[in-house]
């Protein structure tokens, strides 16, 4: 069905984008994770594989400060302190048939892929957990990890109460992988490329992990929006409000949405425009126009930054700017021109808004492909 194809595309979106753009082969990581959580019934006596001196884990502590930022991976119930120069992306895998729950959760920590940055790099941590697999015991998890023929070594570790193993794969795909036992599930975090420098950096990040087991959940906390005329679909947080407005002429669609804490003040002043103060939260407006206006820059904009990107085979532009009416806050627009129509996503927000949320909203916007007649 059309809806299932759209949801499937969204679920693997970040994995496809990053793997396709990067010179590191992401499918290798996925195979690693699948193997790590495949519970077997080995009968051999467990034997710890000793690491060589060169790859012995050397975790070190990271101090909080302006050079780092703590990221919370909500439904996993964990957080990590990450150097500020690294890009962090979250990818909850929404269930195809029931958007209220997750099948899995993936995240990326890397030195590429951020807005305006390089499309490739030499460091990536890829974390994944699958909610839809049966829970396992610590004993079974430990037995299988220690005895896996894929591991060059497997060292048991415990960080801030979270138990797991620090491993490295043997053979050609010799990347480092951390496996943690999290609420009866397995959280795997793979590291590429497997260099000493990347291992030291990943140890540094892993050492800061904090767990809140009460936050672990497979609730998606999102709602699916389908444009009434089938022009696009996207997920937004389930506590956001939204409405589709009536349109006419070249304006084919008009959506307004906002976060529950959104606050804006409009001040009437003399002159051609009012002063608009974005005080809190996020306002989102998505319009679809039957013209090519998306090929040009935002009108009357004082542009702070702009960069092109390719999203799902569609070329787009990302603009950060203000208008003469912007008295407080900032505007961001994503502009796509596709199949004769302009798709424009506008966000108005306060300067301290969570940029992770905006990136997530942009990345899960899907221009709907029409069924062949």
pLDDT in tens, 319-338: 999 999 999 999 999 999 99
What number is the average pLDDT over the span 4-29? 36
What is the overall mean pLDDT for the chain? 82
What number is the average pLDDT over the span 164-178? 95
Distance CA 261, CA 205 (A): 32
Cβ–Cβ under 8 Å, residues 125 and 190:
yes
294: DSSP letter: G
- The pLDDT of residue 118: 78
Q: Using 50, 70 and 90 to split pLDDT, how confident is the model at 56?
A: very low
Digit-coded pLDDT (tens) for 219-265: 998 999 999 999 999 999 999 999 999 999 999 999 999 999 999 99
What is the residue extent of each domain of the chain?
2-215, 222-367
Digit-coded pLDDT (tens) for 281-312: 999 999 999 999 999 999 989 999 998 877 77
Q: In this predicted model, which residue has the larger pLDDT, 45 or 370?
A: 370
The helix or strand, by DSSP H or E, that contains position 304, with its residue range, turns out to be strand 302-311
- The pLDDT of residue 298: 95
- The pLDDT of residue 115: 67
Q: Is the per-residue pLDDT at 365 higher than 80?
A: yes
Distance CA 26, CA 120 (A): 12
Distance CA 67, CA 176 (A): 25
Q: In this predicted model, which residue has the larger pLDDT, 24 or 69?
A: 69
Q: Peptide bond preceding 193: is omega within 30 degrees of 0, i.e. cis?
A: yes
- The pLDDT of residue 23: 36
To the nearest 10°, the Cα dihedral for 96, 99, 102, 108? 90
Residue 356: how many other CB atoms lie within 10 Å: 13
C-alpha distances out from residue 351 to 3, 75, 189, 280, 348, Å: 35, 26, 32, 9, 10
Q: Using 50, 70 and 90 to split pLDDT, how confident is the model at 169?
A: very high
Q: In this predicted model, which residue has the larger pLDDT, 29 or 102?
A: 102
To the nearest 10°, the Cα dihedral for 194, 195, 196, 197? -110
CATH topology of domain 222-367: Protein Transport Mog1p; Chain A (3.40.1000)
- The pLDDT of residue 114: 74
- The pLDDT of residue 116: 67
Digit-coded pLDDT (tens) for 74-113: 999 999 999 999 999 888 998 988 888 999 999 999 998 7
């Amino acid at each position: 069905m059309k809806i299932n194809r759209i949801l499937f595309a969204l679920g693997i979106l970040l994995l496809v984008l990053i793997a396709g753009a990067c010179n590191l082969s992401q499918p290798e990581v996925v195979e690693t994770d699948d193997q790590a959580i495949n519970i077997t019934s080995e009968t051999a006596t467990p034997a710890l594989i000793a690491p060589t001196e060169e790859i012995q884990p050397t975790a070190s502590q990271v101090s909080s400060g302006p050079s780092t930022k703590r990221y919370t991976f909500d439904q996993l119930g964990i957080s990590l302190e990450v150097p500020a120069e690294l890009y962090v992306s979250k990818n909850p895998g929404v269930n195809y048939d029931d958007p209220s729950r997750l099948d899995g959760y993936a995240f990326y920590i890397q030195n590429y892929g951020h807005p305006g940055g390089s499309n490739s790099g030499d460091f990536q941590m890829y974390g994944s957990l699958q909610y839809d697999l049966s829970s396992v015991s610590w004993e079974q998890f430990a037995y299988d990890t220690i005895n896996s023929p894929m591991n060059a070594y497997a060292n048991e570790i415990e960080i801030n109460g979270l138990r797991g193993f620090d491993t490295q794969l043997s053979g050609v795909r010799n990347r480092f992988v951390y496996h943690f036992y999290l609420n009866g599930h397995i959280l795997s975090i793979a590291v590429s490329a497997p260099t000493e420098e990347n291992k030291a950096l990943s140890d540094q990040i892993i050492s800061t992990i904090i767990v809140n087991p009460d936050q672990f959940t497979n609730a998606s906390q999102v709602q699916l929006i389908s444009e009434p005329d089938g022009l696009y679909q996207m997920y937004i947080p389930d506590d956001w409000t939204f409405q589709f407005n009536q349109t006419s002429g070249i304006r084919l669609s008009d959506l307004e949405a906002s976060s529950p804490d959104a606050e804006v003040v409009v001040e009437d002043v003399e002159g051609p425009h009012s002063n608009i103060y974005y005080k809190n939260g996020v306002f989102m407006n998505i319009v679809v126009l039957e013209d090519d206006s998306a090929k040009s820059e935002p009108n009357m904009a004082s542009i702070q930054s702009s960069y092109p990107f390719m999203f799902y085979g569609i070329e787009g532009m990302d603009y950060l700017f203000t208008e003469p009416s912007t008295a407080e806050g900032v505007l961001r627009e994503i502009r796509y021109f596709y199949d004769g129509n302009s798709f424009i996503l506008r966000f108005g927000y306060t300067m301290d808004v969570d940029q992770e949320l905006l990136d997530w909203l942009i990345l899960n916007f899907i221009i709907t492909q029409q069924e062949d007649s």
